[in-house]
Structure 1
């Protein structure tokens, strides 16, 4: 698992979480974690969900195109991740767990994965709206975070589409994700299927319940 994909939303109906990838047996890596998606309402996954329940309002501002993230932006991305965990994971995890989880420091692996070309972000007027990271070595969704105040615009779905495209371009046949409990519906809308429940021993010292998920590309 990897501690990088988090999706935080503006309400308790918004889902988010972690992941890892690959058409292989699941295994927990000592340095890993879970992925949370912040600010994404699973009902707004559009054509990626068979029963789309709603869509962004007609007056919504068009999304800026995603761009590759740079290694020197790792701290900026991590700050959004921290905000997303604190804002949305409290709906499914206790306060003490969220406090310890969100306080964990930026891992060295972030810069490596970004440098490898596995990270994309969306920004608007200089503000970071969301980002996603795939660990190309492990075929794993490492991060998926959206600003909790910017939900409802399809950011999560747009970022996930970019991550899928990057994975395919690097020859990956499938992706897996260890989703936080609040992000399971989002990943289901993105085409992932549930493998089973698990618990991740986070480096911060807490055990995080998660759901292992997988999808073919």
Structure 2
């Protein structure tokens, strides 16, 4: 069973590694130029961001979540640990903090779309561009129920 805790400065390299591994596994739709630009942005802000980490018994981060109030801005799990309930546990933690939770998911990330729908998220809208104005459509989601 994993532990969920706030991130610390020393977690920065592992968080960026999780992001990179997860994006490589699930975001094949990104152009190489956009992927590189996004990684540059991520390296600049993610290590210092206030994250929630799911860690194993040795306190090694397996996944992370970025919350901005009741908006889940990011949820990334090391692909070596997909399917083990880590994402579900992080979402449950977020819902315990915020009974109504919102997030956006890339429309092309079918695995993530299925994951959120299984947890009870429903579509509230769509955008043709991502948050940085790139042509990666988003589905806006909301969950008001605890994950099953």
TM-score, structure 1 length as denominator? 0.55
For the aligned residues, what is the CA RMSD?
2.6
1:175 aligns with 2:101: yes
C-alpha distance after superposition, 1:139-187 (max 9, x if no partner) = 210111111111121111111111211235xxxxx22111122211111
Contact kept in structure 1, 2:4 and 2:90, CA below 8 Å = yes
Q: Identify which range, 73-82 or 178-187, moves more after superposition.
A: 73-82
Rounded to whole Å, the distance in 1 between the matches of 2:139 and 2:11 is: 29
Rounded to whole Å, the distance in 2 between the matches of 1:101 and 1:193 is: 30
Contact kept in structure 1, 2:55 and 2:62, CA below 8 Å = yes
Rounded to whole Å, the distance in 2 between the matches of 1:97 and 1:140 is: 27
Bigger relative contact order (CA 8 A; separation at least 6): 1
Contact kept in structure 2, 1:119 and 1:131, CA below 8 Å = yes
Contact kept in structure 1, 2:71 and 2:102, CA below 8 Å = yes
Moved over 6 A (4+): none
Q: Pairwise mapping of residues 86-165 of structure 1 onto structure 2 (< 5 A)?
A: 86-90=24-28, 93-96=29-32, 99-100=35-36, 102-105=38-41, 106-108=43-45, 111-112=48-49, 114=50, 119-136=52-69, 139-165=70-96
Q: How many residues align?
A: 140
TM-score, structure 2 length as denominator? 0.77
C-alpha distance after superposition, 1:174-211 (max 9, x if no partner) = 221111222111111122101222121527xx332211
Rounded to whole Å, the distance in 2 between the matches of 1:84 and 1:98 is: 16
**Structure 1 residues without counterparts, runs of 5 or longer:** 1-62, 169-173
**Structure 2 residues without counterparts, runs of 5 or longer:** none
Counterpart of 1:188? 117
Return the structure number with greater strand share: 2
**Alignment partner of 1:161: what SS?**
helix
Rounded to whole Å, the distance in 2 between the matches of 1:109 and 1:83 is: 15
1:211 aligns with 2:139: yes
Rounded to whole Å, the distance in 2 between the matches of 1:101 and 1:82 is: 12
